Amino acid sequence: MMRTLSTQFRSIKHPRPNPNPKLSKSSSPTKSEIKFNVKPKSEPESESWCVYLLLSTNHPIKTYVGITNNFPRRLKQHNGELNGGAKASRAGRPWICACIVCGFPDRSEASIFESKWKAISRRAPRKSENDRLSKQSEDPSLPLLRHRQAALKKVKASLDCTHLEIIWHLDPF
């Protein structure tokens, strides 16, 4: 039994009749009939890329590092006001901006910085339990912010960050 390709492989489509009889295969559409939704490559993006540090305001207090080229929109996504927030950030809602690093020319450079910041944060030792017990009256977010700030200093020492602007919205000290 012989089957046609389109029944065997559903991704292959039969050619459909032309819905616009005015445009035959021999005539091509004019420039006014073609609409482009893509920005020309020579036009720069409206905003540069940034790496951000968020702090949860719900228990358990935690931090989140991410990248974006539109921070206000991304923060709304993390807080559930818009679709598209990261799954890892759902439990800490609402989130506030603790730090933002601006000035990355492209997504690639921002991704490298973000990855390095996360990796150094994971590897860096946390303060001992004795230090935590002695500072029980301290805001529980401060040790987390200090830990991320220490990791950020190591990232700055390992990469060229002269073109970046680092803005802390929450002072870890």
DSSP string, 97-161: EEEEEEEESSHHHHHHHHHHHHHHHHHSPPPPHHHHHHTTTS-THHHHHHHHHHHHHHHHHHS--
Number of domains in the chain: 1
Range of the domain at 163: 49-125+140-168
Work out the average pLDDT over 71-77: 96
Mean pLDDT value across residues 56-68: 93
| Average pLDDT across the chain, whole number | 78
pLDDT at residue 24 above 80? no
Over 90: is that where the pLDDT of 127 sits? no
Q: Is 42 within the bounds of a domain?
A: no
Q: Residue 84's pLDDT is what?
A: 87
Per-residue pLDDT reduced to its tens digit, 28-54:
444 444 343 433 333 344 569 999 999
Q: Is residue 134 part of a domain?
A: no
Which pLDDT score, from 0 to 100, does residue 99 have? 97
Residue 25 inside a domain? The answer is no
Determine, yes or no, domain membership for 76: yes
Domain assignment of residue 154, yes or no:
yes
* Average pLDDT of span 8-31: 47
Q: Give domain status of residue 57, yes or no.
A: yes
Asked if residue 29 belongs to a domain, the reply is: no
Mean pLDDT of 82-90: 88
Q: What is the pLDDT of residue 126?
A: 79
For residue 87, what pLDDT band results from cuts at 50, 70 and 90?
confident
Which is more confident, 21 or 68? 68
* Within-domain flag for 30: no
> Model's pTM, two decimal places?
0.69
Q: Is 43 helix (H, G, I), strand (E, B) or coil?
A: coil
